[in-house]
């Protein structure tokens, strides 16, 4: 009997994140560009919002944590 | 229900005048937040040794406790936004339109507090971003912690995008009534706006709501967050497929309770009784009852399968759980709230906004207690008890308890600031209440 082991060809996180959890995000973005009423400019604007918020969130967190690191330097 | 007709003036009032209570609440919340920052600075200087999370052995082997329990609790509260917005936008439940934006803002505030808890819980916050980002291409394939970071990021940015797009309609129309000092902010927020975009933007946010309503409840709070625990076979209190539904019901219960508290606080503060009506509060109270019932039902499932002829490790965990007075408190207060909700459903005169407020506060106390217990009892009762001969028991340190006060104060400050910046009630809600209708809410519940 051949034992099935998903780990042999695909790590769980690969399909859990990029296929299962990604699907609603892909569906929303496809809906923006392919749904009707269609307006490419506004769909691009929405995509810019989405990417802009991802970047600002992580850059903001980076700045905040660096400030914490400067104010409270690790003990040597 | 009040016979007053809602107007645009109602929704811009928070930005045009400041009452005495505002300064008092702002002052108290600021002091509490500062006290917490003082306590946190002790932790940042001396490390996690000042918490009770590092005492392997003497604290029962608990390295995750209040911080992670509170993190889950805040993510749960954050669910209110998308449930209500989706109910309005996807299912046409226009009754809840007046609380939709409040709930979306609660998502932003509560998710920020959840994220803050992760920063609080690490010994070296300055390493978070670099370690997560650099290792992401490798860790995302295997680590549930990284799945968690991914989905929370997506949930946050999708909610922000949703808010950013829907608020353009309001800001463009009431800009003259908004504070001049924030003009540059409003200019950026409405960049390129024209009335012809309304229909397209409605469709774009409809798709966004559809994406988030699937992702947030089913794949975040019913998915990656419970999987942080449920995938560990060595912890009988954590492991198992029931954790997904259980986490989701607790999240939904906390979320509705949070929205009720927020709606009642703002209704009183800004005399919005004719907008956030008793009818809306009663509807939310009934939803709270339904989710509380599901929460208790899933608790019953876990208790029964744990105490009746269960494997030894599960029996040991279940016995510890049901005999813990804090667990009895958590279940007791949710039961009490449910009794009120059931009674007011049968006899309408039993309903009162203050009772619904009390029920919501009790439910939030219950869900927070249950979540903290879930996290640390899961660690205290593993299948192989390494600390049997060095008995100890975890109890949160004052610094950990202080974080709860601090994050609640910070979330309060967030709302005190946001009511001064943007309208927290959608203009659509006012139009709808005045009978001017709007295309995106076609049906009724």
CATH number of the domain within which B163 lies:
1.20.1630.10
Residue B435 reports pLDDT greater than 90: no
B257 versus B390: the higher-pLDDT residue is B257
The chain B residue lying nearest A59, using CA atoms, is B129
What is the pLDDT averaged over residues B150-158? 94
**B107 Cβ neighbours under 8 A, 6+ residues apart:** B78, B79, B80, B81, B82, B159
pLDDT tens, residue by residue, B165-219: 999 999 999 988 888 899 999 999 999 999 999 999 999 999 999 999 999 888 8
pLDDT at residue A76, rounded to an integer: 62
pLDDT tens, residue by residue, B325-355: 999 999 999 999 999 999 999 999 999 999 9
Instruction: Say how far residue B291 (Cα) sits from the centre of its chain.
Output: 14
The chain A residue lying nearest B115, using CA atoms, is A61
A 10 A CB-CB count for B349 gives 6
Residues of B in contact with A24 (CB under 8 A): 210-212, 214-215, 219
Residue B441 reports pLDDT greater than 50: no
Q: Least CB-CB distance to B44: which of A57, A58, A68?
A: A68
Domain membership flag for residue B330: yes
Residue B379: phi, psi to the nearest 5?
A: -80, -30
How does residue A59 score in pLDDT terms, banded at 50, 70 and 90?
A: very high
Query: Three-state secondary structure along B305-367?
Result: HHHCCCCHHHHHHHHHHHHCHHHHHHHHHHHHHHHHHHHHHHCHHHCCHHHHHHHHHHHHHHH
Residue B443 reports pLDDT greater than 50: no
Q: Which of B385, B252, B258, B223 is nearest to B312 (CA)?
A: B385
Mutate to test the interface with B, among A30, A37, A49, A70 (most CBs of B within 10 A): A49
H or E element at residue A67: helix A40-71
pLDDT at residue B444, rounded to an integer: 42
Q: What is the DSSP string of A5-22?
A: -GGGT--HHHHIIIIIIH
Q: Which pTM value belongs to this model? A: 0.94
Instruction: Say how far residue B23 (Cα) sits from the centre of its chain.
Output: 25
Domain membership flag for residue B282: yes
What is the pLDDT averaged over residues B255-266? 96
Residue B58 reports pLDDT greater than 80: no
B205 CA: distance to closest CA in chain A (Å): 9
Q: What's the distance, Cα to Cα, between the start and end of chain B in Å?
A: 18
Per-domain boundaries in chain A: 1-38, 39-76
Percent of chain B topping pLDDT 70:
97
Q: Give dist(CA B275, CA B408) in Å, integer.
A: 26
Q: What is the DSSP string of B41-80?
A: HHHHHH-GGGTTSS-TTTTTT-SS-HHHHHHHHHHHHHHH
**B403 Cβ neighbours under 8 A, 6+ residues apart:** B36, B39, B40, B66, B67, B70, B117, B120
Q: Which residues form the domain of B394?
A: 8-433
Number of domains in chain B: 1
pLDDT tens, residue by residue, B271-306: 999 999 999 999 999 999 999 999 999 999 999 999
Instruction: Return the minimum-mean-pLDDT range out of A42-51, B54-63, B118-127, B374-383.
Output: B54-63
Q: Which of B417, B82, B424, B155 is nearest to A57 (CA)?
A: B155
Q: Which two tokens stand for residue B392?
A: 């100890």
What is the pLDDT averaged over residues B397-414? 97
Q: How far, in Å, are B245, B261, B273, B340, B372 from residue B286 at the CA level?
A: 20, 14, 19, 10, 26
Instruction: Return the minimum-mean-pLDDT range out of B69-78, B91-100, B258-267.
Output: B91-100
The full length of chain A comes to: 76
Q: In this structure, is the dihedral angle defined by the CA atoms of residues B394, B399, B404 and B405, taken in order, positive or negative?
A: positive
Q: Is A44 on the interface with B (CB under 8 A)?
A: no
Percent of chain B topping pLDDT 90:
77
Residue B1 reports pLDDT greater than 60: no
The stretches of B122-240 forming alpha helices (DSSP H) are 128-139, 144-174, 183-189, 198-214, 225-230
**B89 Cβ neighbours under 8 A, 6+ residues apart:** B100, B205, B206, B209, B440, B441
**B273 Cβ neighbours under 8 A, 6+ residues apart:** B2, B4, B267
The chain A residue lying nearest B43, using CA atoms, is A72
**B18 Cβ neighbours under 8 A, 6+ residues apart:** B420
Per the CB < 8 Å rule, is B207 touching A35?
yes
Q: How is residue B179 annotated by DSSP?
A: -
Q: Least CB-CB distance to B140: which of A13, A32, A69?
A: A13
pLDDT tens, residue by residue, B354-367: 999 999 999 999 99
Q: What's the distance, Cα to Cα, between the start and end of chain A in Å?
A: 57
8 A C-beta contact, residue B366 and residue B331? yes
pLDDT at residue B89, rounded to an integer: 82
pLDDT at residue B55, rounded to an integer: 66
Per the CB < 8 Å rule, is A13 touching B147?
yes
Residue A26 reports pLDDT greater than 80: yes
Mutate to test the interface with B, among A16, A26, A47, A55 (most CBs of B within 10 A): A16
A37 preceded by a cis bond (ω within 30 of 0) = yes
Domain membership flag for residue B151: yes
Q: Is A12 on the interface with B (CB under 8 A)?
A: yes
What is the pLDDT averaged over residues A58-62? 96
Q: Which two tokens stand for residue B219?
A: 């794949």
Residues of B in contact with A70 (CB under 8 A): 126
Q: Which of B89, B15, B1 is nearest to B428 (CA)?
A: B89
pLDDT at residue B442, rounded to an integer: 42
Per the CB < 8 Å rule, is B141 touching A75?
no
Residue B390 reports pLDDT greater than 90: no
Domain membership flag for residue B444: no
Instruction: Return the minimum-mean-pLDDT range out of B55-59, B90-94, B224-228.
Output: B55-59
Q: How far, in Å, are A29, B148, B151, B246, B359 from residue B222 at the CA level?
A: 23, 11, 12, 8, 24
pLDDT at residue B445, rounded to an integer: 40
B28 versus B53: the higher-pLDDT residue is B28
Percent of chain A topping pLDDT 70:
92
Q: Which two tokens stand for residue B262?
A: 């927020």
């Amino acid at each position: 009997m051949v034992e099935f082991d998903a780990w042999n060809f695909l790590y769980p996180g690969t399909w859990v994140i990029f296929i299962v959890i990604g699907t609603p995000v892909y569906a929303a973005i496809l809906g923006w560009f392919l749904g009707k009423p269609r307006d490419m400019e506004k769909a691009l604007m929405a995509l810019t919002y989405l990417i802009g918020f991802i970047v600002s969130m992580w850059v903001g967190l980076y700045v905040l944590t660096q400030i914490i690191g400067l104010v409270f330097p690790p003990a040597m | 229900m009040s016979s007053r007709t809602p107007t645009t003036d109602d929704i811009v009032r928070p930005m045009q005048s400041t009452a005495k209570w505002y300064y008092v609440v702002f002052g108290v919340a600021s002091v509490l937040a500062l006290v917490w920052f003082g306590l946190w600075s002790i932790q940042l200087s001396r490390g996690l040794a000042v918490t009770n999370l590092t005492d392997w052995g003497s604290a029962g082997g608990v390295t995750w406790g209040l911080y992670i329990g509170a993190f889950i609790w805040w993510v749960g509260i954050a669910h209110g936004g998308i449930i209500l917005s989706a109910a309005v936008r996807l299912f046409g439940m226009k009754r809840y339109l007046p609380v939709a934006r409040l709930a979306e803002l609660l998502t932003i505030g509560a998710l920020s507090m959840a994220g803050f808890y992760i920063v609080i819980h690490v010994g070296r916050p300055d390493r978070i971003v670099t370690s997560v980002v650099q290792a992401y291409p490798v860790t995302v394939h295997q680590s549930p912690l990284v799945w968690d970071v991914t989905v929370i990021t997506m949930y946050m940015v999708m909610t922000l995008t949703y808010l950013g797009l829907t608020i353009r309609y309001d800001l463009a129309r009431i800009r003259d009534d908004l504070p001049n000092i924030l003009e540059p902010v409003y200019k950026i927020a409405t960049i390129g706006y024209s009335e012809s975009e309304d229909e397209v933007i409605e469709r774009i946010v409809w798709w966004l709501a559809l994406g988030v309503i699937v992702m947030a409840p089913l794949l975040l709070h019913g998915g990656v967050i419970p999987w942080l625990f449920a995938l560990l076979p060595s912890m009988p209190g954590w492991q198992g497929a029931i954790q997904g539904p259980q986490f989701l019901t607790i999240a939904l219960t906390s979320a509705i309770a949070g929205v009720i508290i927020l709606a009642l606080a703002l209704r009183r503060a800004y005399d919005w009784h004719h907008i956030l009506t008793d009818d809306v509060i009663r509807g939310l109270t009934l939803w709270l009852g339904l989710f509380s019932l599901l929460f208790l039902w899933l608790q019953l499932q876990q208790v029964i399968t744990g105490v009746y002829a269960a494997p030894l490790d599960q029996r040991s965990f279940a016995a510890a759980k049901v005999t813990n007075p804090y667990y009895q408190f958590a279940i007791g207060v949710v039961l009490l709230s449910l009794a009120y909700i059931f009674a007011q459903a049968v006899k309408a005169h039993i309903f009162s906004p203050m009772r619904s407020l009390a029920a919501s506060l009790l439910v939030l106390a219950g869900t927070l207690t249950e979540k903290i217990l879930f996290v640390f009892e899961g660690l205290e009762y593993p299948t192989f008890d390494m600390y049997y001969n060095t008995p100890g028991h975890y109890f949160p340190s004052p610094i950990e308890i202080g974080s709860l006060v601090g994050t609640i104060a910070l979330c309060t400050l967030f709302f005190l600031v946001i009511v001064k910046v943007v309208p927290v009630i959608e203009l659509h809600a006012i139009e709808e209440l005045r009978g001017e209708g709007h295309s995106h809410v076609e049906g009724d519940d």
